[in-house]
Structure 1
Amino acid sequence: MSSTPEYNNDNIKPEPILSQQDHEDGPVPPPNVDDAALVRKIDMRVLPMLFAIYLVAFLDRVNISNALTMSMPTDLDLYGDRANIALLIFYIPYILFEIPSNIVMKKLKPHIWLSGCIIAFGIVMLGQAFVQSYGGLIATRFFLGLAECGIFPGSFYLISFWYKRAEAQKRFTMYWSSVIFAGAFGGLLASGIAKMDGMRGLENWRWIFLLEGIASILIGIFALFFCADFPQQASWLTEDEKAAVIAKTRNFEDDEVSVTKSDLIASSKDLKLYLAGFMYFTIVVPIYAFSYFAPTIIKALGYGTIQTQLHSVPPFAAALGLCVVVAYFSDRLNIRLPFILLGQILIIIGVAIMLTTHGKSHFSAEYLGICFITMGAFSSGAVIICWVLMNMQGHKERSIGSGWVIGVGNAGGIVAVFCFTKDDAPLYHRGYWILMGITLAGVVLTLLYALVIVRDRRRQVRDEGKVDKEKVLSL
């Protein structure tokens, strides 16, 4: 039986005629499907498992930032820039294999690929708990990057097929918030683990990797049974429900379509992809800079190890609150651009505060600057991903596009790991000026991407002669 959804006269046709209601709300689903109930069903089945997967994945990726405030640098002889290089090595396989990973996920099905990735990630994390040298740390960081390369772009790629544009931002933000929870929870967890130093002969930083590696493996096993696939493959939906999802998201493309070399070449000529990738790059730099170095920066304010971990939580909590508010209004107004610019402005203000107050005993002002940077970076990042992916259509565009944009964007992690180095401590002026320059460049790229969207949308509407919100590019 073909995996392409079948339609008959009693259901809906592949190319529905757009009425006035269709112009405003998208194609009408089959009459016996309650759309609100269907969306709730999808929310409960798709999002929780993906949230858990990336929560442990991001937690495992950045937990080294907490370990670096303990005895890890001394135990592994991490002098000079060695700690920064260990952070850097993660991104080499992580960036290179994101597009191939999406293609493999499409062939193997998401529940198999994503669960395999997180189990492999957990196994490597267990190995990192027992490294005895700088070389061992470098090796485990490389394989962590290889194991995780498919999780983030693959999850966004999958989510984009389940929701129409007006529903997407809240769901993308719900998934994205796993990153923020990881940042906040990582600090709380590390403050507790810091007290385990010497337990069973292991340093406290080793317990971080050990416990989180075990959690990753357990989540990966659950994901094998509970992670959702694409709508056409969902055995937990009725045929009418599948038809309703496909109709409202306008994803009529054959489920078994394959990405070819010509598709890759065609994508390489799309200006929007380049602008989107570098736009995301400019927001990833502050995201990773503060995910990795917030504990280090906070410790420079004069706090002890446990107080440092606890004080790293509120900035991420504030970021989560702003992300929720932005997601609500972005979907309600069906627009993304102003909310991205808002986040970028917060980063600029936060960096300006740090440049003018850091090292002058203005603890409250400095802490506010850290909160502003974290809030702006995480809120903008969630909207950028949704904006870019929901302006793509079908498996080919989204598998290539999500891998490319997130791959190029995550190259920002390479810059981020060298923003705050020991030779620039404790004021870190060089790092803050890097963040300022990159964020200003991000504002320019965001506006350029919006101009290209306006140009292509006008051309699209002119050529098709009709308005379909789920197909026409949006701001």
Structure 2
Amino acid sequence: MEKASSKGSRSSLEKRVDTSSEHTGSSEHDSALDKKVWWKIDLYVLPVITMFYLLSWLDRTNLGNARVAGLQRDLKMTNTQYSIALTVTFIPYILSEIPSNLLLKIVGPNLLLPVLLTGWGIVTTLQGVVHSYAGLLVCRFFIGLLEGGVLPGIVLYLSFFYPRRKMQTRISAFFSSASLSGAFSGLLATGIMKMHGIGNRPAWAWIFILEGLFTVVFGILTFFLLPRSPAHAYFLNQQEKDYVVGQLRADGAIGADDKADSFSWAEVRQTFRLPQVWLLGFVYFFNGTIVYSLGYFTPSIVQGLGYTPIRTQLMTVGPYAAAFFLTNVTSYIGDKYRCRGVIIVFCSICCITGFAMFLGSHHKATLYGSLFMTIGGINCSSPPLAAWVANNTAPHVRRATALAFLSMITNSGGILSTWLLGSLSPAPRYTMATRVLLSFSILMGLFAVLTLAYLHDQNKKKKVIRETTTKTEEAEGLGDRSAWYEYIL
């Protein structure tokens, strides 16, 4: 009996050690390898992906900076026409997201993503030579068509490389670049506005031309920088490649074999049967409306406080710089404590506070200060949202579909934003729009709590199943519905 007990204890201990090693690299060798591998991927993949999203956000929202620089006046556009120009971007953007994400693995992210990046850079540059409203509409359509697959594509791409527990800080690295681009675009636009008249072109044209040309050059470089997957990563040796794949499989981030992650229409349909996808759909819609309202109209909001065009561009830098800091801090907390929903609730509280300040005050400093709360709050909500979806949907096709579908919902909110502040709610107070965005901030937090409650309940049910059965008794192909796939809260 003693031997059996000893053997059982030793077996239990070995099992705990193996499990710990599998998930955290507890042995010295695995710990060193673990740090080396993720550091390498962070070094070679994250900067490229971060620049991808920075340029995507910059080239999509620089229309707001161009508007302040005289675009609307020179093209003789009404506020309604400006809203139409923004809306035209979203329609092809939304329609292209699911097809692009489903094609990502088939074509290869190392080819598809650079093609999209280079293509929209060319179109952005062409915006600088338009002479009519119709020409602007054509450019905005193709920018939307080419950029549509980028956001869900790069979140899906990161899930090829990182276990679920490491996703939010990495997603934050590129999502916070949206905050950085908001600050950077203000500084850049300030400098470019001094080029007014060079080459007989107005300042707004140079904003598009210079930013677009940089995107084209970087897009060409990415053909040589992006690896297709960990197995094709030129910066990893074979041992490191095997370790990454092993970690991803142990974590449930990828299937046990290629067949598990192969394309299946059945898996696409399964995505729309997941309650967490529909619950998060509401959160995504409210988030998207707020994100794009502030992304497109912050320069106009700041200008409405009485600042000159150049001063306006500079004043947009502060709130976005603060958002960059807040996004990275909350994402570190989110990964460290494996909490996504709580961070989103915190973000909604920041937005509620900011919109209440803007709605209830007439003091210039308070109105400007409210942007730090709203821009900071909504920007730091995006990484946990994306990570939450990527963490809690499996296998690959289900995850790809969910990310693209929810990104479509986000951009549907973007369509609402173009009209909400564009023509339905007059400047400079945007009273009706602010009330709507305040309500959406409250609802965003509410649906995040409901999602938390649902996932927590599912984890309790899965724990009961694990205690009363074995994994071999479970049906195959359950993906995230498996009792051994624990949802991250």
1:333-352 CA-to-partner distances (Å, cap 9, x unmatched) read 22122211111000000000
Say if 1:254 and 1:137 are closer, same or farther in 2 by CA, change over 3 A. Answer: farther
Shift of the alpha carbon at 1:115?
Answer: 0.3
Q: Matched residues in 2 for 1:99 and 1:390: separation? A: 18
Deviation per residue, 1:403-430 (Å, 9 max, x gap): 1111212211111112213551121101
- Relative to structure 1, the CA distance from residue 462 to residue 96 in structure 2 (aligned partners, 3 Å threshold; closer, same or farther) is farther
2:10 equivalent in structure 1: none
TM-score (norm 2): 0.89
What do you get for the CA RMSD once the two structures are aligned? 2.2
Deviations 1:314-350 (A, max 9, x none): 0001111111211222222221222111110000000
* Unaligned 5+ runs, structure 2: 1-12, 472-481
Give the distance between the partners of 2:24 and 2:182, measured in 1 at CA: 41
Specify the SS of the correspondent of 2:68: coil
Aligned counterpart for 1:19 among listed residues 15, 25, 49: 15
When residues 158 and 145 of structure 1 are mapped into structure 2, their CA distance, relative to the original with a 3 A threshold, is: same
What is the aligned counterpart of 2:485 among 465, 471, 474?
471
In 2, Cα distance between equivalents of 1:269 and 1:455: 17
Alignment match, 1:262: 266
1:321 corresponding residue in structure 2: 325
8 A Cα contact 2:466 2:483, kept in partner:
no
Corresponding position of 2:383 = 382
Shift of 1:232: 3.0
Query: What is the rounded CA distance, in whole Å, between the counterparts of 2:304 and 2:71 in structure 1?
Result: 18
* Alignment check: 8 A CA contact 2:320 2:372 kept: yes
Bigger shift: residues 262-271 or 416-425: 416-425
Report the counterpart of residue 433 of structure 1 in structure 2. 435
| Structure 2 counterpart of 1:5 | none
Counterpart mapping for 1:398-417 below 5 A: 398-417=399-418
Q: Output the amino acid matched with 2:461.
A: R
- Return the offset for 1:277: 2.3
C-alpha distance 18-192 of structure 1, shift in aligned 2 (>3 A):
farther
**CA 265–123 in structure 1, closer or farther in 2 if over 3 Å, else same:** same
Structure 1 CA distance for aligned equivalents of residues 285 and 105 of structure 2: 25
Identity of aligned residues (%): 32
SS in 2 for 1:421: coil
SS of the aligned residue for 1:68 comes to: helix
AA aligned opposite 1:276:
L
Partner Cα distance (1:280, 1:23) in 2: 35
Supply the distance in 1 between the matched residues of 2:351 and 2:19 (Cα, whole angstroms).
37
Distance (whole Å) between structure 2 residues aligned to residue 24 and residue 369 of structure 1: 45
Structure 1 residue 199: Cα displacement: 0.7
Question: Per-residue deviation at 1:21?
Answer: 4.2
Contact 1:278 1:409 in 2 (8 A): no
> Distance between the aligned counterparts of 1:397 and 1:22, measured in 2?
29
Deviation of residue 438 (structure 1)? 1.2
Q: 1:433 to 1:321 in 2, by over 3 A?
A: same
Aligned-partner Cα distance in 2 for 1:22–1:316 = 44
Partner of 1:164: 163
Aligned to 1:13: none
What is aligned with 2:44? 45
Does structure 2 retain, via aligned residues, the 8 Å contact 1:27–1:247?
no
Shift of 1:23: 5.2
Deviation per CA, 1:103-125: give whole Å up to 9, x if none: 11111111100000001101111
Post-superposition offset of 1:229? 2.1
CA contact (8 A) 1:53 1:223 kept: no
Aligned CA distance change for structure 1 residues 302 and 25 (closer, same or farther; 3 Å): farther
- SS in structure 2 opposite 1:474? coil
Structure 2 contact 282–447 (Cα < 8 Å) conserved = yes
Decide whether aligned partners of structure 1 residues 25 and 84 sit closer, same or farther in structure 2, where only a CA change above 3 A counts: farther
Q: Contact 1:123 / 1:213 at 8 angstroms: preserved in 2? A: yes
* Equivalence map 1:293-442=2 (5 Å): 293-357=297-361, 360=362, 362-422=363-423, 424-442=426-444
Query: Residue 381 of structure 2: SS of its match in structure 1?
Result: helix
Moved more, 254-263 or 459-468: 459-468
1:50-89 aligned within 5 A: 50-89=49-88
Residue equivalent to 1:460: 462
Q: Cα gap change, 1:22/1:327 in structure 2, threshold over 3 Å: closer, same or farther?
A: farther
Q: Could you tell me which residue of structure 2 aligns to residue 9 of structure 1?
A: none
1:227 Cα deviation from its structure 2 partner: 1.4
1:27 positional shift: 3.8
Separation (CA, whole Å) in 2 of partners of 1:175 and 1:247: 25
Q: How much does 1:366 deviate?
A: 0.8
| Bigger Cα displacement from structure 2, 201-210 vs 335-344 | 335-344
Report the AA paired with residue 415 of structure 2. Answer: I
Is it true that 1:145 corresponds to 2:149 in the alignment?
A: no
Q: Distance in 2 between matches of 1:22 and 1:168?
A: 23
For residues 440 and 134 of structure 1, the distance between their equivalents in structure 2, rounded to whole angstroms, comes to: 37
Report the AA paired with residue 225 of structure 1.
F
| Aligned 8 A contact 2:114 2:223 in 1 | yes
- Give CA-to-partner distance per residue, 1:93-140, whole Å, 9 cap, x none: 111111110111111111100000001101111221111111111111
Alignment partner, residue 237 of structure 2: 238
Classify 1:471/1:244 alpha carbon distance in 2 versus 1 (closer, same or farther; 3 Å).
farther
Give CA deviations for 1:212-270 in whole Å, capped at 9, x if unaligned.
11011111111100013222332432232122112222223444743222222221211
CA contact (8 A) 1:232 1:255 kept: no
The match for 1:6 is none
Number of residue pairs aligned between Structure 1 and Structure 2:
456
CA distance in 2, matches of 1:126, 1:247: 43
Deviation at 1:210, TM superposition (A): 0.4
Residue 452 of structure 2 aligns with which residue? 450
TM-score for both structures, normalised by structure 1: 0.91
CA distance in 1, matches of 2:125, 2:256: 41
Q: 1:28–1:301: structure 2 CA closer, same or farther, 3 Å change rule?
A: closer
- The SS at the match of 1:331 is helix
The one of 270, 275, 289 equivalent to 1:285 is 289
Q: Work out the CA distance in 2 between the residues paired with 1:175 and 1:473.
A: 24
Quick check: which has more Rg, 1 or 2? Answer: 2
What residue number does 1:3 align with?
none
Find the counterpart in structure 1 of residue 478 from structure 2: none
Unpaired segments ≥5 residues, structure 1? 1-16
